[in-house]
Amino acid sequence: MKLVKHLANLGYGSRKEVAWMFREGRVTDAAGEVLYADDPLDHGSVRVDGQPLDPPPGLVLMLHKPVGYTCSMKDPGRIVFDLLPPRFRLRDPALSTVGRLDRDTTGLLLLTDDGALLHRIVSPKSRLAKVYEATLADALRGDEAGRFASGALLLESETTPLLPARMDALAPRRARLVLHEGRYHQVRRMFAAVGNRVAALHRPQVGGLALGELPEGHWRALDAADLDRLFSPETP
């Protein structure tokens, strides 16, 4: 692939705009030598305005999603892509969220431009655990863990019962849940099904990958070791 197309695919501009960047001498190699639009591609050694390029396709990142951002491209309000470099919205292949978190849910959100990986993560066959911490409007009654673990709980307007899920009480109004599926508003609807209401919801972990010290609103690219951790079988 020509360098000009690679840069356009990374969102640095349209092909025409990127061609101008070459003309203006803004695209160089690591030693500062000016590069040309049809030069061969050596991603690691290219600089734009002296800066290394954004990660190449195959990008996987995790974002610590704050309250108030939607996992959508279209929403007129705040969207999770507002928390990433603006160029990331223009990439081809496109970066998408891996599943969704509700607008008012915080925590670990994965994004990738790798369609096969996205399917592997969301596939029920991978049985990736999603860990949630819920703060509840009312105190736990004591029967919730048994009902969630039963494999018989039906959510409103659904006909297939939920897979067994694990719940541990953390405090009278706080619970940790481990799910192996991802239905629409699942955690909120599970607590609604047992007569409670989720007041706040946080996802600290997916598979074996945890947010760790990543501050709210921040993101980082994942490396091979992170992906091993994500798919690690010994999840919570």
CB of 196 to ligand URA, least distance (A): 13
CB of 115 to ligand URA, least distance (A): 22
Answer yes or no whether residue 162 interacts with ligand URA by CB under 6 A.
no
Tell me which residues in 197-226 interact with ligand URA (CB under 6 A). Answer: 201
Choose the stretch contacting ligand URA; rule: CB under 6 A; options: 85-93, 111-119, 185-193, 220-228.
Answer: 185-193
Answer yes or no whether residue 185 interacts with ligand URA by CB under 6 A.
yes
Instruction: Name which of 60 and 109 has its Cβ closer to ligand URA.
Output: 109
**Burial classification of residue 216, based on how many CB atoms lie within 10 Å of its CB (0-12 exposed, 13-18 middle, 19 or more buried):** middle
Length of the chain: 236
CB within 8 Å of 15: residues ≥ 6 apart = 4, 5, 8
8 Å CB contact between 166 and 149: yes
CB of 212 to ligand URA, least distance (A): 20
**Burial classification of residue 166, based on how many CB atoms lie within 10 Å of its CB (0-12 exposed, 13-18 middle, 19 or more buried):** middle
Question: What is the rounded CA–CA span in Å between residue 75 and residue 127?
Answer: 30
User: Which of 102, 104, 114, 226 is flagged as catalytic?
Assistant: 102
Among 18, 188, 196, 230, binds ligand URA (CB under 6 A): 188
Instruction: Reply yes or no on whether 113 is catalytic.
Output: no
Instruction: Name which of 69 and 88 has its Cβ closer to ligand URA.
Output: 69
Instruction: Name which of 3 and 111 has its Cβ closer to ligand URA.
Output: 111
Token representation of residue 163: 């897979």
CB of 119 to ligand URA, least distance (A): 19
Choose the stretch contacting ligand URA; rule: CB under 6 A; options: 32-40, 51-59, 163-171, 182-190.
Answer: 182-190
Tell me which residues in 72-131 interact with ligand URA (CB under 6 A). Answer: 101-102, 105
Instruction: Name which of 90 and 200 has its Cβ closer to ligand URA.
Output: 200
CB of 40 to ligand URA, least distance (A): 44
Which chain residues interact with ligand URA by CB under 6 A?
101-102, 105, 185-188, 201
Q: Which residues are catalytic?
A: 102
